[in-house]
Amino acid sequence: SRSLRVQAPPPPGPSPSASRGRPSPALLPRFAPAMAPKKQGAMKRPAAAPEERASKRAAVTKESGKKGQAQASSKQFGLVSKALLQSTDFPAHVLEMLSTSLPGCLGMPKEQRHPFQQEIAGMVGEVLAKCEAGLQGGVQSAETSLAAVKALKDTDEATERDEAEKLSAKEEAWAAAQTAADEASKALSAAREAQAATEAAKAAGDAEHEAAAEKKARLSSALSDHFLPIKEGGAEPAKVKEGIAAVLAAGGDFSFDATLLKALPSAAQKAFGDRGTFDGLVMDQIEA
């Protein structure tokens, strides 16, 4: 069976309602409100002494210098780390290790470094020296290539100038040849015109010569075939008129004296023995 514990009644005393109205004297000092101090004038903070202010300024300046130095060192570490990681002569994990060790190695003054730190600094210097040598080699190679390109450029420019001069000379020669050709063409045209004029003159001269030759031949024929037989009295009476007409035609061609040509028919139609002195003179002048 469950045993029951009976709680003893509280000792006689004031009722809870009575105690609720009056606090216990033992608690009064603990919860009693503190007496407000008597109001006084507001107290000013005492000004710091000049030495204290100067000390604070020096501390602030020193702290700022440390921060600036730390920032500069961090920037320098960043530059060195960047240069290390760009190296192609060492494994990447080695370069990462050296880059990570930079602050703990180079951040310590040289005289305070441990031999291990000195050794790491030497490794960093070796990597940077190798990088510098590689870059210097690249610079020298680039300078050599640049010099070769410059030399080639100079050669090309010289060749271009020579070709330009040759082209200019050819253009001048072509212009001179063109001018000469134009002048020759003009001269040829003039020569052709002169030749045509000469040929025309020659043709005219030939025509005149032929005409003169024909007239001379007619005159000679008229004199020998017709006039002489009439003059000497040996011409047949039926051919006297024909002979006189031939002589008159030839005389007209050679512009014989009109008086002689007018007197010729009368003298020629007379018999040789019937001719007078005037008739004989006419005959002699015609023959002459």
pLDDT tens string 128-137? 898 888 888 8
Which DSSP state fits 109? -
Evaluate if residue 5 carries a pLDDT over 70: no
Evaluate if residue 164 carries a pLDDT over 90: yes
Place 144 in a pLDDT band, splitting at 50, 70 and 90: very high
Place 73 in a pLDDT band, splitting at 50, 70 and 90: low
The whole-model pTM stands at 0.36
Place 181 in a pLDDT band, splitting at 50, 70 and 90: very high
Evaluate if residue 219 carries a pLDDT over 70: yes
At 171 the pLDDT is 94
State the burial class of residue 203 (Cβ atoms within 10 Å of its Cβ: 0-12, 13-18, 19+). Answer: exposed
Q: What percent of the chain lies above the pLDDT cut of 70? A: 71
- Determine the residue type at 146: L
At 36 the pLDDT is 46
Question: Where are the domains positioned within the chain?
Answer: 211-287
* Measured distance CA(160)–CA(163) in Å, rounded: 5
- Tens of pLDDT, residues 24-38: 444 344 434 444 444
Mean pLDDT to the nearest integer, 46-62: 56
